[in-house]
Amino acid sequence: MIAHVSGKLIFKSPESVVVDVGGVGYEVFIPLSTFYVLPEPFEIVALNIHTHLKEDAIQLYGFLTHEEKQVFKLLISVTGVGPKLARNILSGIAVADLVAAISGGNRARLAAIPGIGAKSAERLILELKDKVRELAAAYGKAAGAMPSKDAVGNDVISALDNLGYKSGQAEDALRKVRESLGAEAAFERLFKETLRLLSKR
């Protein structure tokens, strides 16, 4: 079972990437949250992998952060939610927001995710509410340790941590970027500007 892939990024799209590992190219399906923070082609990338076995194929799903992979595995354990829908869910909402919506029973927020209706939202809450409590508590503690860091900021820090940056440096850089861009800046722009600032140090 493949759990991690690290190698040269040969191709990337919002749907998937191809990673060259020792001369073998692996196609890996990804959510948009991972696509936004990928390096440029022919640079090195590291992805956490979930291997999905089908009767006629082996599919790899990749995530920049361990939290994304954790939540993906929880999502596909839900009745009626397959890997493709789980990837679409992660593309439509930040991990911390998703965890908060499920643990808080926020049906309206879940139903607003593309591909999820009222019945699916109810099923996510029913089957995952207890399972995400530990994750929800972890995000809550992180937010308490850094009041200015919201759900999107959590994902930015997690992505930067996966790239090897220390949490303290990443949080300091994120604060400065937020002062410049404003509190409502989207994940992609926040991540790129924070990474740009860190790379200058």
**Which segment of 23-37, 62-76, 81-95, 135-149 scores lowest on mean pLDDT?**
135-149
- pLDDT at residue 109 greater than cutoff 70: yes
Under a CB-based contact definition with an 8 Å cutoff, are residues 97 and 113 in contact?
no
CB-side exposure of 116: number of CA atoms within 13 Å?
31
Which of 137, 162, 134, 143 is CA-nearest to residue 63? Answer: 162
Residue range(s) defining the domain that contains residue 26 = 4-63
One domain, residues 120 and 166: no
Q: What is the mean pLDDT of residues 143-152?
A: 48
- Band (pLDDT 50/70/90 cuts) for residue 150 is low
Enter the tokens of residue 27: 């196609």
Do 125 and 155 lie in one domain? The reply is no
Closest by CA to 34, choosing from 15, 10, 6, 53, is: 15
Shared domain check, 89 and 50:
no
- Count the domains in the chain: 3
Q: What angle do CA 46, 34, 118 make, to 5 degrees?
A: 140
Look up tokens 């699916």; give the residue. Answer: 120
Query: Two tokens at 30?
Result: 């990804």
**What are the tens digits of pLDDT across the range 55-80?**
888 999 999 888 899 999 999 999 99
What residues are paired with 48 via a beta bridge?
Answer: 4, 63
Q: Is residue 83 part of a domain?
A: yes
Give the end of a domain, one of 63, 90, 114: 63
pLDDT of residue 201: 64
Q: What is the pLDDT of residues 159-195, one digit of tens each?
A: 777 677 777 788 888 888 888 887 677 777 888 888 8
Choosing from 22, 46, 63, the residue where a domain stops is 63
Domain annotation covers residue 141: no
